[in-house]
Amino acid sequence: MKKAMVNFLQQQSTVSNVFNVVTLQVGAGVMVAVREKMTPASSDRALIDQINLVESAFRSEFLQVMWLFFEPGVDD
């Protein structure tokens, strides 16, 4: 599942690099922490909107995700 998650994130046009994905099975659900570099955005608000769209798409693709922590960064 982790490999599929990384591949999904790498296919998102607003994600320029995936540094790390950590998953933890919690009962029937999964907790996921993502550290990635986003593509440049025109403003802070635009960056937040990009992150929200990727998070939403991620949750739609991986229905078992109960908790998602998405941390943008510039390096690992």
Residues 43-71, mean pLDDT to the nearest whole number: 96
Return all residues near 43 (Cβ < 8 A) that are at least 6 apart.
none
Determine the Cα–Cα distance for residues 70 and 39; give it in Å rounded to an integer: 14
pLDDT at 1: 87
β-partners of residue 29 are 26
- The pLDDT assigned to 73 comes to 85
What is the C-alpha separation between 53 and 28, in angstroms, rounded? 25
Of residues 1 and 32, the one with the higher pLDDT is: 32
pLDDT classification of 51: cutoffs 50, 70, 90: very high
Please, what is the average pLDDT of the chain? Answer: 95
pLDDT at 75: 78
Query: Residue 31 belongs to a domain with what CATH number?
Result: 3.30.70.1350
How many domains does the chain fold into? 1
Distance CA 16, CA 13 (A): 7
Token duo for residue 75: 């390096």
Q: Residue 56 sits in which domain range?
A: 2-72
Q: Return phi, psi of residue 36, to 5°.
A: -145, 165
Is 90 exceeded by the pLDDT of residue 65?
yes
